[in-house]
Structure 1
Amino acid sequence: MLRETSAAALEWQRLREQMARLTGSAAGRDRVLALEPSTDAVWIAQQQDCIAEVRLYLATGAAFYFTAVFAPGSMLEKARIPGAALEPADLLRVLALAELMEEWRAVAQQEEPWKAIAEISLPVTQAYLAPLLHALRGKIEPDGSLSDDASPELARLRNAIARQHRAIEESLRRSLRAISESGAAQEELITLRGDRFVIPVKTEQRRKVPGVIHGSSSSGQTVFVEPLETVESNNELLRLLDEEQAEVHRILVAMTRAVGDHAASLESGAEVLTELDALFAGARFAQTLDCVRPEFVEHEIAVKAARHPLLDLQLKSEGGSVVPLTLSLEDGARQLIISGPNTGGKTVSLKTVGLLALMAQAGLPVPAEEAKLPVFAAVYADIGDAQSIERNLSTFSAHMTNLDRITREADASSLVLLDELGSATDPEEGAALAVAISGHFLRMRAWSLVTTHLNSMKIYAATNEGVVNAAVGFDEETLAPTYTLRMGIPGASAGINIAQRIGLQPEIIAAARNQLDHQTADIGRFIDQLHMQLAAANEEREALRKRELALEREKQRLEAEGRNEQRQKARELEGKLTSLMKDFEHQMREAAGAIADKAASQKLAKETERRLARLKREFSEQFNATVVAHISGADKKDPNAQPHVVKSINVGDTVKLRTLGREVRVDREVSSNVFEVSMGPMKMRVQRDDIAEVVRKAPAETPLQAVKRKGGVTVAMQTDPDITPREINVIGRTADEAQDEVERFLDQAFLAGLPSIRVVHGTGMGILRRTLRDYLRRHPHVANVTEPPYNEGGQGATVVELRL
């Protein structure tokens, strides 16, 4: 824990009370009210982690209620005593606690967002409470009585008691009717006296009703008689009631024993749930104030847009908002001197930094956009009116007593907050003391924030390394504070200026100015000049900021245009390379076909090597040329930039397709890049880059054809299609070889429009037959696969019907 927190001066208790309102249980509230800042970095980090995880959990809209949490210490101590019996109401509270532990187990064991929470929840998640819940559930009514289902014996006894009640009432009612006829009954009423059922009888008629008298009324006119015929029934009822109480006690003892057996788990679980209640309150508090997790650093104090939490809560409730505070001590600076007019926010600045430091070290997020703080060993504050009537001390003496203690205890790891240092005494002596005290804290390297009206302190800050001036804002036009803090310059007290603008007589203002010595006047003018320069700098900075925003927008626009242009170029290049790859694939298939044709010769290896080397070289040259031409833009409007794309294609030409490896005739030019071609009776449309080469040019047009074409009729002669074979023989091939040949043959037959083909594979061991038939049955062009008759090949062939 911190050596000193100055909790009263910084209103730490008020902050805890505000946060305690967000707890769900008295135990959680006590935990929050006892929360103290720590110097243990590991504990602080764990608390910050836990609250961050709870905030993520709450942000999803989830909720968890800790109303059943309480400190069960005294109950558990009693439960550990052999033969002890807890009251049903206490057992109900223990049951609620155990059920809450089971509910939290389900929440804590989820994968996200828990990590730190899961770690502190281990005593709950590892507890085994099933026997306890079985022993307690359903046995106690909400009013604290035991349920009839608490045990079979208790149910039996209560049924017997109910029957005995009814029997006694029937007997007494018969007696009442009998004595009512004789006029001896005071009234027809059955009542209880000393656990015995009785009837009221007139005093003078008591001898007419034989039985036991159990007292009389206050007037003496009525006696309460237990008729002799119900005495035994009443005795039996009392016996049953005694047995019921004995059974109830036995059940309570058994339930209490179950609680005692799980006392350790219940105690640790209650501790965990109490801690979680406090953490949930901290997370809700942080959400309300839009807090951030502080960053702990060694050599810097920096808060951005920080808000005093209590002031922020108050103004929010009134529909207002706090002017945020931004300040920093860095680059070796350890002391900040804040000056400026009254009510400008100097004291609030001190309290904000001090309270944020306590919150951060208590493991709480802080109300700011950003916060960097050291881990302080102590926080000392001398703020407000310290007059002590009890000790007969003046304000100045009380301040000096407190300052004497702080100067003796503070060190380089302390945060010192001093409000109006050197006030409440002679200004010259106060200024000298203020400078001396500030110098003392500076020499010991303590972190210190000091507010002042004294010019000597402003000069001290400007002339000493490690000290920074700051000024609270004041609008001289409206005579109102702005509550903003400006770093790097001192603030003017502006007392005479305020008096002048309010309308104090000019001669009084002039006399006041004459009373200022020359040094004070010079300092005042210097500060006024600083503020004018600051205003001009702010205007210039705003103009620069607008220019930077405009430049940034223009930069983003140009970058977006550049990215769009790059994407367009990439798409163009991708199209060109795709076309190039198609050409390469076609050449590879041609090479593979040529190699297969030469397989009968002994030059296979040499020919393969030569062809592949040539193809590799040509593809590499075309690939590089395409990329370079595209990047440099040399291919724009250049019809020769893609040599692998056939340029001159005319109607009537015979061309070869890359994808099919077949020759087709060009019938019509659909567009500049699309042609309609025919192969036998089959027609199709193909892209220009799918045409590998022009095999034969169309014959020259005769004059007669030209005349007919000009007249609106085009006459074209088409030769008979190639006679496509209807049978393929793959005997002697391996299964893979046979399948490849059949696949090519099947494609050719399908394109030629043949209704069926015949595959001869031989009988052999049947492996080739089974492989080919399985393949053909799955082929998309095949409608049916059958075996021909024995005289047409039988098992040595397969007939394949094609889809038309």
Structure 2
Amino acid sequence: MFSIETLQFESLLKLVAGNAQTPMGRDFVLGVRPLSSRPELERDLRLVEETFALKEEEVVWNFSELSEPSDAIALLRIKDSSIEPSILRELARLLSQALFAKDEIRKEKQVAPTLWQIVETLPKDLADLAAKINNKILPSGEIDDSASSELGRIRREINSQRGKLTRSLEGMMRSNSDAIQDEIVTLRNERFVIPVKADFSGKINGVAHGASSSGATVFIEPLESIEANNELQKLKANEENEIARILFSLAEELREQLPAIERAVDAIAELDFVKAKTIFAERFDAIVPEISEDETLDLVDARHPLLEENLRTAETQRSRDNSVPRAVATGKNDKNEGNTNDAIARSHNHPDAEAPP
């Protein structure tokens, strides 16, 4: 009896996992174990067959720039917890790509009923929620001015107040040019100040907010600008509160859809797993095996994919060393011959083991 270790099952899974496009898909591949249920095995083989059939119809899906969502999901499970803008955008990206895959499969769901079952229950509402998040949160993670009318109003007031304060300080510097080091309004401790020569610091009444490294300049907030600076800080606090409210509202909407989001994560993981197997199959000229009723094992031109991979790697290295293109014969590519990799060999000991692909 061959063991999983003898057949290098874990190494085979790593080879297949290299084709996954997402962390979830990779984990799915690496978590595969031989199946003892024939219906489960037949379902997995149908998924591969249907994916190949859809490709012939030019129906494909891809996943890109998706992060592992477990931390985000954990935050959604915590009532009233806040979620960073970048994480909200990552969830929106995940939902958008899951729904894109659903739309693609829907086109030929009669051809791919098993694949359709994976995505069928994903609600359309997720698309609206993903769009709302992307509209309110910029790619940089900043909140867009249009995220709420209140945020837009506050930011307009901030810009107006900042402009008035800056102009006032610029006028003050012109009036006291002999005491000013550089006529540039500066920000210190989140407050607008002017750079005053250390020898003239007593000429400008106000609050000192530190000095330059050389000590030649003192940054002073004139008394006349304190109230304006205070008003600006108040507006900034209002802005932060409004941003927090927007982010909390988005998190709550996601929280209400948590079961559907978890289904989207599972769907992406399995679809990525299936696609990784089809890429593996194409690379090694593998076919979907036919499972016999009497457990008969028929191997034609069978080869171990790990050995073939090692040969390819070695041949590539030799070609680079010699600067001479070379090729490795990998056996016949007949749809009725070929091999399904060592997974067929596993079926000798695990008749119902799943074979990638």
| TM-score above 0.5 | yes
The aligned counterpart of 1:307 is 303
Q: Trace 1:373-772 onto structure 2 (pairs within 5 A).
A: none
In structure 2, give the amino acid aligned to 1:291. A
Residues 1:185 and 1:5: Cα distance change in structure 2 (over 3 Å): farther
1:254 to 243, 249, 253: 249
Per-residue displacement from partner, 1:215-254 (whole Å, max 9, x unpaired)? 2223333211111221111111001000000000000010
The unaligned stretches of length 5 or more in structure 2 are 316-326, 333-340
Rounded Cα–Cα distance in structure 2 between residues aligned with 1:102 and 1:282: 21
Mapped to 2, the partners of 1:266 and 1:299 lie a distance apart of 41
1:380-431 Cα deviation digits (max 9, x unpaired): xxxxxxxxxxxxxxxxxxxxxxxxxxxxxxxxxxxxxxxxxxxxxxxxxxxx
Which residue does the alignment assign to 2:112? 114
Aligned to 1:167, the other structure's residue is in SS state: helix
Matched, 1:320 2:328: yes
Cα separation, 1, equivalents of 2:2 and 2:148:
58
Asked whether the 8 Å contact 1:29–1:278 carries over to 2, the reply is yes
Q: What does residue 175 of structure 1 align with? A: 172
* Structure 2 residue aligned with 1:52: 49
User: Partner amino acid for 2:299?
Assistant: V
Question: How has the CA–CA distance of structure 1 residues 146 and 240 changed in structure 2, closer, same or farther, with 3 Å as cutoff?
Answer: same
Q: 1:100 aligns with which of 74, 97, 101?
A: 97
Please give the alpha-carbon distance, in whole angstroms, between the structure 1 residues aligned to 2:343 and 2:34. Answer: 16
Does the 8 Å contact 1:20/1:281 carry over to 2? yes
Distance 1:166 1:299, change over 3 A: closer
For 1:290, the equivalent position in structure 2 comes to 285
Deviations 1:173-211 (A, max 9, x none): 11111221xx21122222111111011112221121122
**Partner Cα distance (1:360, 1:286) in 2:** 19
Check the 8 A contact 1:210/1:228 in 2, yes or no: yes
> Are the structure 2 counterparts of residues 286 and 211 from structure 1 closer, same or farther at C-alpha, using a change threshold of 3 Å?
same
Q: Report the AA paired with residue 111 of structure 2.
A: P
Which residue of the partner structure matches residue 137 of structure 2?
A: 140
Distance 2:343 2:121 in 1: 38
CA deviations over 1:118-145 (Å, ceiling 9, x no partner): 1222332x46325523542311111111
- Secondary structure of 1:201's counterpart equals strand
Match of 1:339 in 2: none
Aligned pairs, number:
334
Mapped to 1, the partners of 2:351 and 2:295 lie a distance apart of 19
Do the aligned partners of residues 359 and 222 (structure 1) sit closer, same or farther apart at CA in structure 2, a change above 3 Å counting? Answer: farther
Is the contact between residue 25 and residue 67 of structure 1 (CA under 8 Å) also seen in structure 2?
Answer: yes
User: Cα–Cα, structure 1 residues 243 and 299, in superposed 2: closer, same or farther, change >3 Å?
Assistant: closer
Equivalent residue of 2:300, what SS? strand
| Offset, 1:25 | 0.8
1:264: how far off?
0.6
1:212 to 188, 207, 211: 207
C-alpha contact (below 8 Å) 1:76/1:259 kept by paired residues: no
Give the match for residue 244 of structure 1.
239
Q: 1:362 — aligned with what?
A: 354
SS in 2 for 1:186: coil
- The change in CA–CA distance for 1:44 and 1:190 in structure 2 (over 3 A counts) is same
- Confirm or deny: 8 A CA contact 2:38 2:352 kept in the other structure: no
> Residues 154 and 179 from structure 1, CA distance in 2 versus in 1: closer, same or farther, beyond 3 angstroms?
same
Report the structure number with the largest CA radius of gyration: 1
**Do 1:201 and 1:224's aligned partners in 2 also have CA atoms closer than 8 Å?**
yes
Given that 2:50 and 2:111 are in contact with CA atoms closer than 8 Å, whether structure 1 keeps it comes out as yes
Structure 1 residue 53: deviation in Å?
Answer: 0.6
Q: CA deviation at 1:75?
A: 2.0
Looking at structure 1, the residues matched to 351 and 208 of structure 2 have their Cα atoms a distance apart, in angstroms, of 75
Q: How much has 1:23 moved relative to structure 2?
A: 1.0
Correspondence for 1:279 among 253, 274, 279? 274
- Evaluate the alpha carbon distance shift between residue 162 and residue 119 of structure 1 in structure 2; reply closer, same or farther with a 3 A threshold: same
Which amino acid counterpart does residue 301 of structure 1 have in structure 2?
L
1:502-561 residue CA offsets vs partner (Å, 9 max, x unmatched): xxxxxxxxxxxxxxxxxxxxxxxxxxxxxxxxxxxxxxxxxxxxxxxxxxxxxxxxxxxx
Q: CA deviation at 1:301?
A: 2.0
Are the counterparts in 2 of residues 80 and 257 from structure 1 also a CA contact under 8 Å? Answer: no
Aligned in 2, Cα 1:202/1:5: closer, same or farther, shift over 3 Å?
Answer: farther
* DSSP 3-state at the match of 1:269: helix
Is the counterpart of residue 86 in structure 1 residue 86 in structure 2? Answer: no
Give the C-alpha shift of residue 356 in structure 1: 6.7
Amino acid at match of 2:262: E
1:190 aligns with 2:185: yes
Q: Match of 1:307, as an amino acid?
A: R
The one of 60, 63, 68 equivalent to 1:63 is 60
Instruction: Please state how far the C-alpha of 1:312 moved relative to its aligned partner.
Output: 3.0
Q: C-alpha offsets along residues 674-722 of structure 1, whole Å, 9 cap, x if unaligned?
A: xxxxxxxxxxxxxxxxxxxxxxxxxxxxxxxxxxxxxxxxxxxxxxxxx
Distance 1:134 1:283 in 2: 31
Larger mean CA deviation between 115-124 and 261-270 belongs to: 115-124
SS at 1:304 equivalent = coil
Kindly indicate which of the two structures has a greater share of residues assigned to strand.
1
Amino acid at match of 2:39: V
More helix by share: 2
Q: CA RMSD in A?
A: 2.5
Residues 1:253 and 1:352: Cα distance change in structure 2 (over 3 Å): closer
CA distance in structure 2 between the partners assigned to 1:70 and 1:27 by the alignment: 9
In 2, are the aligned partners of 1:80 and 1:261 still within 8 Å (CA)?
no
Tell me which amino acid in the other structure corresponds to 1:303.
L
| Contact 1:25–1:69 under 8 Å retained in 2 | yes
Spell out, residue by residue over 1:316-347, the C-alpha distance to the aligned partner (whole angstroms, 9 max, x if none). 564112467xxxxxxxxxxxxxxxxxxxxxxx
Aligned to 1:166: 163
Aligned residue number for residue 10 of structure 1 = 7
**Displacement after TM superposition at 1:305 (Å):** 2.0
Partner SS state of residue 108, structure 1: helix
Residue 263 of structure 1 deviates from its aligned partner by: 0.6
Answer yes or no: is the 8 Å Cα contact 1:23–1:281 preserved in 2: yes
- The CA deviation at 1:306 is 1.6
Q: Is the 8 A contact 1:69 1:273 kept in 2?
A: no
Q: Write the distance in 2 (CA, Å) between the matches of 1:165 and 1:359.
A: 74
CA distance in 1, matches of 2:262, 2:186: 48
Task: Name the aligned partner's letter for residue 225 of structure 2.
Answer: T
1:235 alignment counterpart: 230
Q: 1:83 Cα shift?
A: 3.1
Normalising by structure 2, we get a TM-score of 0.86
Q: Which residue of 1 aligns with 2:336?
A: none
Q: Which residue pairs with 2:338 in the alignment?
A: none
**With CA pairs under 8 Å and 6+ residues apart, which has the higher RCO, 1 or 2?**
2
Counterparts in 2 of 1:316 and 1:61: CA distance versus 1, 3 Å: farther
